[in-house]
Structure 1
């Protein structure tokens, strides 16, 4: 075929892609539906012009369209890795972990249920072998939720709903294609009908092999990309190669799932990339992948749509019955998951609640698309599949895809409106009226200052002021009609606005590079949780989300266990350093947010709401300060290093601003500016590295570092090291309760403890001890001791402590100092101390 003609056809397809998006917006239809309609029309027109005698002038164009090398391997090896890889790069994985249960249920369980539901339904209503029926089930079980996601975004649906659907769109392709490969093997090899157990037994092998391949490929690529840190184009080029190589190696060399390999590679790069690559390079890399995925997604859809007329050429009357069976079975299977399994998991507190209207929208929005057509094409191309099976697979997959696009897709927006998801709640409606009134008041003040500054004609000002005043009066009257909003709801709205401003402030700090790129995702995830917590649970939801930002999670406890039992310190070092930087960034952001309450929220919701928000924010700041102080006591000096790093990064940002201003004012030329910016970039790269955090804990070294043991000889230190018991406690663990008998003394090897007695609090850190007063005073404890940071304690029982105290003058001095600090006569504590045996 003439290369010029092929180039012209492909260029024309890009023109169609460019026209489709604004056309979809004007017709208020999903983008994928418009592409499918245009592609089907082009394919039908090409066949028509080839077979008609009306004209031969368009025959070369029609032949070029029909002769395009559209094969299933083009879809699976060229377009699909691009779409999957970009989807993983664009995800907020930490936020998706909050909804991992509904995402996995929809993406994996729903796919498996749909596969077997459609398979058994077809086996009962057709003469197809069971393996072929399962193959059709796997082909039609993968959804293309891009349409419903775009509509949800256009109506400002909750982010959480869009996040669940995006997670499903990524993982259900992987699950469906893995099942497709499994049953395709049964069909091509002529196996007898597969047993359910045999099919599911092979499924984990495909998943595990693909995941391992993707992870190893991504780790190798990240290592290479880190070497190319100053060469952005080279770095992006390596990222382009990564998904394709991972896919090919998994499919051709290992026999695992290439889709899973691409997903694993993308997830690995998403998590590790921001911390290893320059921030600007990471941003540009994602922009390149966004553009590639847009083109790939449009091309895969329109090229697959070109095949629809050919796939339906041999349709028979009885095939429509089977298409109806597929529609009913797939819809019922998805409904069972959405309205049966998900509510059950919510009742068991295994999954967050998904409201019924949203579940209905997800059900109707389960459109099928290009992936379904590509898998069907792969079956029709195989010479090892029986001819009748190929015909039925092509027709059923295409028919079901057309039903979802032309029936569900075109009515999806109507269904969303019928469910009421496109309307603001009464609370949001009232909020919008309040915001408009305050905004217009601010605008009127600014306009008045502008007219005064420019000495505008009074007649013009008077006329415009009258028009604007009428609009303002109407807005104020409308807002006053909403004064029946409960204070509770005003607080909720204020918290949502406050969390939104916090998120905007974080983004600004990331752009200014005062917050490192590796921490940006975590801190932004915290802000998103605050928004969703306030929206779902008001003040209590906001406070729960705020507490979650400072607590130690399961991952941290696992890292501590690995450190203590296996000596693997790297995860604990990384997570502790992340916590340091995260808390420090939170403290800086919260100080910026405080002014927003007085400047905006007070004007919208009044003084009482503003005062309450100030109180909530002060509590958050106090909690962050307490957590940060605990880490300071645990690792002295490290927080100061991070603060100095923040100051240096701020200085670099201000220096960059000055250079840009000088360049714009013509004070320096482009050559000087380029040299200065290159030097600035090199220094900024060096500041990305965090200071080293040493968390090594060795009992012998710890014993020597305590001042009370300073006068013991080596033999005594070794004996003491053998009798001291090591105890690790998490933050918020109560170590000593009031009123309990004193049985142990605790020496703080690392961490921080808070002591409370008679309403007073004080804190102890590394090298301090507690519990000795209760032993020496022979009274129940009057102090409660609580860990405010993960702490490693060395514990000594009563007998050994008294014996050690009788021999160590340094320990006696420490006890005396502690007694004086609490207003107790130290001589009364030590007067009855009898000589004892050695420790």
Structure 2
């Protein structure tokens, strides 16, 4: 239809259509922008908890969908198999934004939303990697590629792209950290990073540029908050949100202008092929959701996902900007056959429109039909609690307001009566609900407590009393507490609390690297992080008792509040114990961190005073700016963490042992060179039965359990073990296992025998341990004393 309005827009459309837009524009400009922004906006530390289901869903879902759509089209059309698989890879990408936003609006589990987001990001990366592979076959004119050869190249594409992206990101982070005072420079480097990573991977080593972009984004997401100023990091993410928004909008605009040219000769058979794509894609997704996900849950590799949620995820598999960008990259390539371009444009556009118009408009209705839009009893109780607590706070604020402004007492009494009746009704409803059991009240209290803990952490991060390096990890631990309390009540909360303090798999790995290969840098970094994490947790938990008494006790009563106090006291004791263990290993380091905390706090208070003086007009803008510049320099210096040198602390550890009290300074230095430090985690076996005698162990911190001939002994700080077998020259008949994270000083047998002959204190210790185990001390000391 020709109208004055539409005809007026024709010159603009013709100008856009006349632009030399080729496939490279979509591959090198739009895709890196969309993927890089997605990586920056994700909570990767929490997604690492579910990396198995995310990886399986992403990779397996892409392969299944690509093969399903590809072979279905190959059966229904005369297109070459390579072209059909290319179309399958294009339509395999998913856009989770709609379903995730709806899940959040109905209070769906956050873990489920994270799995969907992570699966979608890696899904896009894997699908685009396959797209590049099959696109090459189509442009080279290979009609029927060997599927095994194609899939064999897939890991090479991923590994090469991941390595390129990681290296590019590390270089970019180093440059950005060097120019931390210049925020615009940081943002410009971040803008250049995904494009350089993409081009470097594609053109230099022939790997997947998309995987390189994702790897670069993941690396920046994990390392950026700890290396860049907090405000600069926040502004950088806002810039990328805006870039991705415009990239997605431009893709839809270009699709609306470019693809209609391919739709001029659309045929009835094309609609049938669109139906084939729809059925094949939905069927492939259903196999993953209703076949693979339950299997992963049975194997305990994935959280169980209830059937209503799986139905919602199935119907929420929308396609969006990435699918259209890939389709446009094909249609605007002069090396792709015309019929392939025509079908790619029609099928990709038709399938995207189906998901947006049909699935998108009916998704909320499907969720309502499945009953997912209704709150559970515990969520309803939570809403009643929020209302009651909010009204109590409002009443206290109103009381202060009436006193400050000396309002008329008659008016105050009238309004207070109405408000008091409403407050009493709300509190009575929260307290007397028959639907909520006692254990649910405890769960509600724990959720509220964990939520307040998270809010306190955010406040401390904004005040910069908690460093940006540790902020994300501490927030992740708080999120785990909330989700664990919601899912498992008291036991779930306690398990998550223990996990936040426990030594994880990564720490055990760096300990092994230190013990076996002598690589101490990773252990130093993780030990320093653990010090700071424990100190931050202790500071945060000190503020939680007042919240329990001020808020939770009002709603849930004294018994629930007392129980929460008890659980909190156990958490504080656990943190204090872990912190004390580190203090014993590294005397003085915790005090340095505490001084750093005080310095950051003083800087925050100083900044607040300058701002107040500026608002009161006591200082001008120029003076304020100068003061803030000086403050920024001192804050940057205060952010630096003291160096932890684990090697230099060995001498101080030796001095803790009464066994070495009679050694002079020269002997201590010599002993320090002879001893080596070994770190073991709780549960690790240090000494196996019937092994050859090689070392004697001194416990600097921690505890071990020794089992021999049906008897067991527990040894702690200052004790030693292994000396019996060392002195009798027999194989050990005892097994020694760490029952707590421990630091051991290890001395080989020859040096131990030499030192024993010279130290009366050590001889007395060996004699006492022999008598404790029922062994004649002369059997142990006789030979040594004769040698002396």
TM-score by length of 2: 0.89
Determine the structure 1 residue equivalent to 2:265: 314
Determine the structure 1 residue equivalent to 2:569: 618
Q: Among residues 415, 420, 429, which one is paired with 2:366 in the alignment?
A: 415
Determine the structure 2 residue equivalent to 1:25: none
SS of 1:748 mapped into structure 2 = strand
Moved more, 702-711 or 401-410: 702-711
1:752 aligns with 2:702: yes
1:532 aligns with 2:478: no
Change (3 A) 1:704 1:526: closer
CA contact under 8 A between 1:735 and 1:787: conserved in structure 2? no
Count of aligned residue pairs for this structure pair? 770
Map 1:145-294 to 2 at 5 A.
145-294=96-245
Map 1:586-605 to 2 at 5 A.
586-605=537-556
| d(CA) in 1 for partners of 2:162, 2:494 | 37
1:94 aligns with 2:38: no
| d(CA) in 1 for partners of 2:177, 2:391 | 50
Q: CA deviation at 1:310?
A: 3.2
SS of 1:191 mapped into structure 2 = coil
Q: CA deviation at 1:770?
A: 6.1
Q: CA deviation at 1:748?
A: 3.2
SS of 1:791 mapped into structure 2 = strand
Q: CA deviation at 1:240?
A: 1.2
1:731 aligns with 2:731: no
| d(CA) in 2 for partners of 1:386, 1:664 | 68
CA contact under 8 A between 1:119 and 1:133: conserved in structure 2? yes
Q: CA deviation at 1:659?
A: 1.5
The runs of 5 or more residues in structure 2 that have no matched partner are 707-712, 728-732
Determine the structure 1 residue equivalent to 2:746: 794
Q: Among residues 28, 40, 48, which one is paired with 1:77 in the alignment?
A: 28
Map 1:315-464 to 2 at 5 A.
315-464=266-415
Q: CA deviation at 1:336?
A: 0.6
Q: CA deviation at 1:491?
A: 1.0
CA contact under 8 A between 2:65 and 2:92: conserved in structure 1? yes
CA contact under 8 A between 2:32 and 2:195: conserved in structure 1? yes
CA contact under 8 A between 1:726 and 1:792: conserved in structure 2? yes
| d(CA) in 2 for partners of 1:377, 1:729 | 56
CA contact under 8 A between 1:630 and 1:788: conserved in structure 2? no
Determine the structure 2 residue equivalent to 1:764: 717
SS of 1:403 mapped into structure 2 = helix
1:661 aligns with 2:612: yes
- Please provide the CA RMSD for this pair: 3.8
| d(CA) in 1 for partners of 2:14, 2:146 | 45
Map 1:494-513 to 2 at 5 A.
494-513=445-464
Q: Among residues 501, 505, 519, which one is paired with 1:550 in the alignment?
A: 501
Change (3 A) 1:79 1:744: closer
Q: CA deviation at 1:554?
A: 1.4
CA contact under 8 A between 1:433 and 1:479: conserved in structure 2? yes
Change (3 A) 1:132 1:465: same
| d(CA) in 2 for partners of 1:638, 1:57 | 72
- Once the two structures are superposed, residues 333-357 of structure 1 have per-residue CA deviations (whole angstroms, 9 ceiling, x without a partner) of 1111111111111111222222222
Q: Among residues 503, 527, 536, which one is paired with 1:576 in the alignment?
A: 527
- Once the two structures are superposed, residues 214-243 of structure 1 have per-residue CA deviations (whole angstroms, 9 ceiling, x without a partner) of 111111111111221211111211111111
SS of 1:256 mapped into structure 2 = coil
- Once the two structures are superposed, residues 304-358 of structure 1 have per-residue CA deviations (whole angstroms, 9 ceiling, x without a partner) of 3444533432211111111111111111111111111111111112222222222
Change (3 A) 1:717 1:238: closer
| d(CA) in 2 for partners of 1:720, 1:226 | 38
Q: CA deviation at 1:698?
A: 11
The runs of 5 or more residues in structure 1 that have no matched partner are 1-47, 738-742
Change (3 A) 1:471 1:312: farther
Q: CA deviation at 1:731?
A: 3.2
SS of 1:352 mapped into structure 2 = coil
Determine the structure 2 residue equivalent to 1:8: none
CA contact under 8 A between 1:712 and 1:808: conserved in structure 2? no
1:609 aligns with 2:528: no
Determine the structure 1 residue equivalent to 2:710: none
| d(CA) in 1 for partners of 2:737, 2:322 | 60
Q: CA deviation at 1:115?
A: 0.1
CA contact under 8 A between 1:711 and 1:809: conserved in structure 2? no
| d(CA) in 2 for partners of 1:626, 1:581 | 15
- Once the two structures are superposed, residues 754-786 of structure 1 have per-residue CA deviations (whole angstroms, 9 ceiling, x without a partner) of 799xxx999626xx646889999xxxx9x9995
Change (3 A) 1:726 1:289: closer
Moved more, 62-71 or 331-340: 62-71
SS of 1:836 mapped into structure 2 = helix
SS of 2:466 mapped into structure 1 = coil
SS of 1:606 mapped into structure 2 = helix
| d(CA) in 2 for partners of 1:832, 1:762 | 20
SS of 2:785 mapped into structure 1 = coil
| d(CA) in 2 for partners of 1:829, 1:592 | 55
CA contact under 8 A between 1:704 and 1:717: conserved in structure 2? no
CA contact under 8 A between 1:802 and 1:833: conserved in structure 2? no
Q: CA deviation at 1:656?
A: 1.2
Determine the structure 1 residue equivalent to 2:785: 836
CA contact under 8 A between 1:335 and 1:363: conserved in structure 2? yes
| d(CA) in 2 for partners of 1:705, 1:469 | 63
Determine the structure 1 residue equivalent to 2:82: 131
CA contact under 8 A between 1:70 and 1:303: conserved in structure 2? no
- Once the two structures are superposed, residues 271-301 of structure 1 have per-residue CA deviations (whole angstroms, 9 ceiling, x without a partner) of 2222222233222222222222222233323
| d(CA) in 2 for partners of 1:388, 1:354 | 42
| d(CA) in 2 for partners of 1:58, 1:628 | 69
Change (3 A) 1:764 1:235: same
| d(CA) in 1 for partners of 2:174, 2:672 | 46
Map 1:675-754 to 2 at 5 A.
675-696=626-647, 708=659, 711=663, 728-731=679-682, 733=684, 747-748=697-698, 751-753=701-703
Q: CA deviation at 1:666?
A: 2.0
| d(CA) in 2 for partners of 1:69, 1:416 | 44
SS of 1:764 mapped into structure 2 = coil
- Once the two structures are superposed, residues 30-66 of structure 1 have per-residue CA deviations (whole angstroms, 9 ceiling, x without a partner) of xxxxxxxxxxxxxxxxxx44xx799855543453465
CA contact under 8 A between 1:81 and 1:259: conserved in structure 2? yes
Change (3 A) 1:414 1:637: same
1:485 aligns with 2:421: no
| d(CA) in 1 for partners of 2:212, 2:54 | 19
Moved more, 59-68 or 119-128: 59-68
SS of 1:549 mapped into structure 2 = helix
